[in-house]
Amino acid sequence: MNLEEGLERLEAIAARLEAGTLPLEEALALYREAHELHGRCAARLAEAEREIEILMPDGELRPESETGAAGAPATRGD
């Protein structure tokens, strides 16, 4: 399961738990699944952040608005 699928599943689980209509055992099983999914998604995000830091020569992460279309720093006209 990729990150996007994991996040979608977490949202679906959250909606079911928030409804408050599940039997206790089913709610606990979903909570365990969500806890595991959260860990996997968080690990994948941390891995992606490390990859980005390696790829950035100065190690500084820039907001998207400061990068050009190809991800390179935007240049100013001066």
For each successive 10 residues of the chain (78 residues), what is the average pLDDT? 95 97 97 98 93 75 56 49
User: 22: which DSSP letter?
Assistant: S
Closest CA to 12 of 28, 33, 39: 33
Range of the domain at 11: 3-60
Domain assignment present for residue 69? The answer is no
Domain assignment present for residue 76? The answer is no
pTM over 0.85? The answer is no
Domain assignment present for residue 45? The answer is yes
Domain assignment present for residue 67? The answer is no
Question: Which pLDDT score, from 0 to 100, does residue 50 have?
Answer: 86
Domain assignment present for residue 34? The answer is yes
Domain assignment present for residue 27? The answer is yes
Domain count, the chain: 1
